[in-house]
Amino acid sequence: MKRKIFKGLKFLGIGFIVLIVIGMIFGGESLDKIHIDSKHLKMDVNEEKEIALIFSPEDAHLSIDDFQLNHDGIVEIKDIKDHQLIIKSLKKSGDVTLQYKDNNIKSNAITIQVVDQKALAALEKQKEEEAKEKAEQLAKEKAEEEAKQKEATKKAEEEAKQKEAAKKAEEEKQKKASEQKQNTTNTSSKTKSNTTTSTKTTQTHNETSSMVYIPKTGKKYHSNPNCSNMKNPRQVSITEAKRRHYEPCKKCYR
């Protein structure tokens, strides 16, 4: 019985020694501190990158399970090799925070931004095309507006010319009407004057050429020498009779 117990203890001791040796070979020393040598990392989808790790002691063993991400489905941790943390972005775009946490040991936290460069390029191209189309549309609208303004200005100028021409025509018409009226007035005045002059001339001629009879006594001149029983009346011109203040006989000049 003692022999079996001794034999068991012997195997247990050997196993403990083996475990110590394996721990010394593969486990390394305990981690004191760790730093992820980056602040902000930008990646394209489906891209793999390496991030430098600074930690002490340098032979400390690190596990990828101790690197934590605050969101899943954006980045995955692939491996740790030669003080480099190998990560790969997936198909999903977004921001994720990476940090090492193991018991009381924590690293700094870094932000990893994953973007779909192809999608961004397509979106940028679409925006450029939309901006180009908008610029072309604005240029077209501006050209149309300028054409409308030009046409409106031309129409306004033509209307102004037509109004000016109509105004001149009206002024010319009024001028001609005024001249015609003045000519008519002048002609009428001239005709009236000529008529008056002619009448006066005729009257004067008649008065000069007409002969009347004046009596020896009295102040009436007669066209009939026998009127009022005149005896031996004197024949003179009517002008002469008027000059002598003779008045026409009411019987002779009714």
pLDDT averages per 10-residue partition of the chain, 254 residues = 59 55 52 93 96 94 95 96 96 96 93 95 93 95 95 94 93 90 71 55 54 90 90 92 92 86
Q: Which pLDDT belongs to residue 39?
A: 86
Give the number of other Cβ atoms within 10 Å of residue 29's Cβ: 12
Cis peptide preceding 57, ω within 30 of 0: yes
Q: Which pLDDT belongs to residue 198?
A: 52
Q: Which pLDDT belongs to residue 136?
A: 95
Q: Which pLDDT belongs to residue 144?
A: 95
Q: Which pLDDT belongs to residue 184?
A: 74
Q: Which pLDDT belongs to residue 166?
A: 94
252: left (phi over 0), alpha (psi -120 to 50) or beta: alpha
Are 41 and 113 within 8 A, CB to CB? yes
Six token digits for residue 162: 């037509």
CA distance 27 to 10: 25
Where are the chain's structural domains?
27-117, 207-248
Q: What is the pTM of this model?
A: 0.46
CATH architecture of 27-117: Sandwich (2.60)
Q: Which pLDDT belongs to residue 25?
A: 45
CA distance 98 to 76: 10
Q: Which pLDDT belongs to residue 181?
A: 84
CA distance 7 to 38: 55
Q: Which pLDDT belongs to residue 213?
A: 94
